[in-house]
């Protein structure tokens, strides 16, 4: 008899309980979202892969906050199926699979579908390496460079939140 190898998921586990979504990581609850508070659903990718999570399902709630769950988390397919039924919109597929750079899109509501979810704004101290030598120095931690950018919800998402609160 072969011994079964248990896969260890480094992206956590999604679970549904009533009208709440939970994301647990390393046996700890990381986030809890009330589905009835969701105003916008989106997804985004970044360049952190392949060793770190780089693709996320994001929920913007009626208080203007947003929280994300890695697409690689266990049970994500069950979650997207549940959300598809709840919001009467297909949320099972993805538009950003294979993306290796920063990108964000809205999946729900339908009238905002495929528009940007987030805006990136350079920080006040932003200084990007420009020359080839600067890029090499920056990649090993030398030089006085700061590529920090602030992530904010787009104006369209902010308007959707304002309309939802009326």
What pLDDT is attached to residue 44? 87
For the stretch 94-114, pLDDT in tens is 777 777 778 899 999 999 999
For the stretch 21-65, pLDDT in tens is 999 998 899 999 999 999 999 998 877 666 666 778 999 999 999
3-state secondary structure at position 78: helix
Q: Strand (E) positions, the chain?
A: 13-17, 20-25, 28-34, 38-45, 55-61, 66-70, 103-108, 118-122, 149-153
- Asked whether the predicted pLDDT for residue 69 surpasses 80, the reply is yes
Pairing verdict, β 149-153 and 103-108: unpaired
pLDDT band at 4 (very low <50, low <70, confident <90, very high): very low
What pLDDT is attached to residue 137? 79
What pLDDT is attached to residue 67? 95
Structure token pair of residue 103? 């990108």
pLDDT band at 138 (very low <50, low <70, confident <90, very high): confident
Number of Cβ within 10 Å of residue 142's Cβ equals: 10
């Amino acid at each position: 008899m072969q011994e079964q190898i248990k896969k260890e998921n480094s992206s956590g586990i999604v679970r549904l309980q009533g009208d709440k979504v939970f994301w647990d990581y390393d046996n700890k609850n990381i986030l809890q979202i009330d589905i009835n508070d969701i105003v916008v659903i989106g997804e985004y990718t970044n360049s952190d892969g392949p060793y770190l999570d780089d693709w996320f399902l994001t929920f913007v709630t009626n208080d203007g906050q947003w929280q994300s769950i890695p697409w690689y988390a266990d049970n994500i397919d069950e979650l997207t199926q549940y959300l598809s039924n709840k919001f009467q919109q297909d949320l099972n597929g993805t538009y950003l699979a294979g993306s290796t750079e920063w990108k964000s899109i809205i999946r729900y509501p339908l009238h905002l579908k495929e528009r940007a979810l987030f805006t990136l704004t350079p920080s006040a101290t932003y200084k990007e390496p420009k020359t080839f030598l600067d890029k090499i120095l920056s990649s090993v931690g030398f030089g006085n460079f700061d590529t920090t950018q602030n992530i904010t919800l787009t104006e369209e998402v902010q308007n959707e939140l304002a309309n939802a609160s009326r």
